[in-house]
Amino acid sequence: MKKADVVEFYSRLAEENPHPETELESVNDYTLLIAVVLSAQATDAGVNKATRQLFRQVDTPEKMVALGEDGLKQHIKTIGLFNTKAKNVIALSKALIEDHGGQVPADRDALQQLPGVGRKTANVVMNVAFGRETFAVDTHIFRVGNRTGLARGKTPHAVEQKLDRATPQPFRLHAHHWLILHGRYVCKARTPECWRCIVRDLCAYKDKTPAPDARKKQQGAKQ
């Protein structure tokens, strides 16, 4: 995608949603970290449903350790891989207490040393909690980057690197939120809703999906 097209791409997303935010609910940096860890292979809506009551009771690593693994499981048992996630959350909470004074570190490498925290999770926390210009590549961003031609890559890290190089100011801080939301609600995996996409003319995807009414007409004509 040409530089001018990249600027136009982000400009349209920014105009539609000037102040994008994560859809994960949290009450502080610690609960944000926990929510992101729990969101792996799960929906934000599912995580929010499970954590609303949890975060009313538990909002520090000390309280999480006191709750314990079994107690945590009772709150998050509706989330996929909850057994492993509960183990990791308790372990990372202990690590925060022992190594960081109970505070979430504002350093990506330090975050990635915590149990259950990968690069994507660390990037989300760095961006949302600390205002860093990071690109957390999940399945939505990976798809949008490749499908549109904005940032093509065979791995999430390759897409992240290309986004980092291609994304100019003043779009860098909110870029990953715009791309996640676009992938979640418009540029969907199975059937992208190209007919209502505001960046359709800038997108490199060749098999653009027509509106539902147009598809019915096409199918009728074939019959």
Q: For the chain, which domains are there?
A: 3-19+135-212 (1.10.1670.10), 29-130 (1.10.340.30)
Each residue's pLDDT, cut to its tens digit, for the chain (223 residues) gives 999 999 999 999 999 999 999 999 999 999 999 999 999 989 999 999 999 999 999 999 999 999 999 999 999 999 999 999 999 999 999 999 999 999 999 999 999 999 999 999 999 999 999 999 999 999 999 999 999 999 999 999 999 999 999 999 999 999 999 999 999 999 999 999 999 999 999 999 999 999 887 655 555 545 4
Structure tokens belonging to residue 41: 């292979």
Active site (annotated) includes residue 3: no
User: Look-up: residue for tokens 């400009």?
Assistant: 11
Catalytic residue among 3, 70, 120, 216: 120
194 annotated to a ligand binding site: yes
Catalytic residue among 138, 162, 201, 208: 138
CA distances for 115 relative to 12, 87, 128, 167, angstroms:
38, 9, 20, 30
168 annotated to a ligand binding site: no
CA distances for 49 relative to 38, 54, 151, 195, angstroms:
12, 10, 33, 32
Question: What is residue 146's three-state secondary structure?
Answer: helix
Active site (annotated) includes residue 29: no
37 annotated to a ligand binding site: no
157 annotated to a ligand binding site: no
Q: Centre a 10 Å sphere on the Cβ of residue 11 and count the other Cβ atoms it contains.
A: 13
The runs of H, that is alpha helices, within the chain are 3-16, 29-38, 44-57, 61-76, 82-100, 108-112, 119-130, 139-148, 156-166, 175-185, 212-222
